[in-house]
């Protein structure tokens, strides 16, 4: 496991994607995020190459709200899509709800195959919303079936030591983390000190700028869940 701790200032998400996607300077301002002063940009550039996907390495983005975790995850998703990897973006709450509905409808195995399919699975906002009791089991099974085969990016506002509280099951949380952290990059983002100055992003001419890149995802067709 490789761990990096970042404090926060401003930079462009393009650092994550330009090496593999060729985003031009006009598009760089379309996704601006808050990251660290003195940040290790080489790590962001390396993640942007998508080589971590080739080794089924996971990425955990940990930090309080407003520090850019979802923007980074979206940037990684954009880079993966541009590089030709099948990518799916979901929130932790939506993943749990889909799995719960599939279990009720007798489509659990189909739903597990669906979440096993993408080469990169991005799970956003783990810990932001309360999860139902069966969510721990659903998340574990999704992670377990992808273990050492395909990559997962997770954003969370809670440290890994609090995941037992988030999921309501410390045993399942420990097993989940064992698989996630076995081969992973953990990035911890801290909020800037109160009153610290940051340089606002420079606006570009919206008439000349291309539309913002979005993370492509694959949604299940009704016939896939039969």
Residue 121 is assigned to a structural domain of this protein: yes
Residue 123 is assigned to a structural domain of this protein: yes
Residue 223 is assigned to a structural domain of this protein: no
Number of domains composing the chain: 1
pLDDT mean over 18-31: 33
Residue 189 contacts residue 61 (beta carbons within 8 Å): yes
pLDDT band at residue 224 using 50, 70 and 90 as cut-offs: very low
From the list 58, 9, 4, the residue with the least C-alpha distance to 200 is: 9
Please give the pLDDT value at position 193: 60
From the list 87, 94, 92, the residue with the least C-alpha distance to 125 is: 92
**Stated pTM of the model:** 0.73
Whole domain around residue 171: which residue ranges?
A: 2-25+33-195
Residue 217 is assigned to a structural domain of this protein: no
* Residue 82's CATH number: 3.40.50.300
Residue 70 is assigned to a structural domain of this protein: yes
User: How far apart (Å, rounded) are the C-alpha atoms in residues 51 and 46?
Assistant: 7
Q: Which residue has the tokens 């971590």?
A: 52
pLDDT tens, 25-79? 333 322 333 454 335 678 888 999 999 999 999 999 999 998 889 999 999 999 9
pLDDT tens, 117-163? 999 999 999 999 888 888 999 999 999 999 999 999 999 999 999 99
Tokens, residue 40: 């290790």
Please give the pLDDT value at position 173: 94
Residue 158 is assigned to a structural domain of this protein: yes
From the list 11, 153, 151, 130, the residue with the least C-alpha distance to 68 is: 11
User: How far apart (Å, rounded) are the C-alpha atoms in residues 172 and 44?
Assistant: 31
């Amino acid at each position: 496991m490789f761990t990096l701790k970042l404090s926060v200032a401003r930079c462009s998400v393009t650092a994550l994607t330009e090496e593999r996607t060729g985003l031009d300077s006009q598009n760089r301002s379309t996704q601006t995020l808050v990251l660290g002063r003195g940040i290790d940009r080489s790590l962001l550039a390396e993640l942007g190459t998508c080589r971590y996907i080739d080794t089924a390495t996971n990425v955990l983005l940990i930090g309080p709200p407003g520090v850019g975790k979802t923007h980074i995850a979206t940037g990684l998703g954009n880079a993966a899509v541009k590089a030709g990897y099948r990518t799916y973006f979901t929130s932790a709450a939506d993943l749990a709800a889909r799995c719960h509905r599939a279990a009720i409808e007798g489509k659990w195995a189909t739903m597990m195959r669906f979440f096993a399919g993408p080469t990169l699975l991005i799970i956003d906002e783990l810990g932001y919303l309360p999860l139902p009791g069966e969510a721990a089991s659903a998340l574990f099974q999704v992670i377990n079936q992808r273990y050492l085969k395909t990559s997962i990016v997770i954003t969370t506002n809670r440290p890994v030591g609090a995941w037992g509280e988030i999921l309501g099951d410390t045993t399942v949380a420990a097993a989940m983390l064992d698989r996630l952290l076995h081969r992973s990059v953990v990035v911890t983002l801290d909020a800037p000190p109160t009153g610290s100055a940051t340089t606002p992003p420079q606006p570009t001419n919206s008439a000349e700028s291309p539309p913002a890149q979005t993370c492509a995802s694959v949604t299940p067709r009704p016939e896939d869940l039969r």
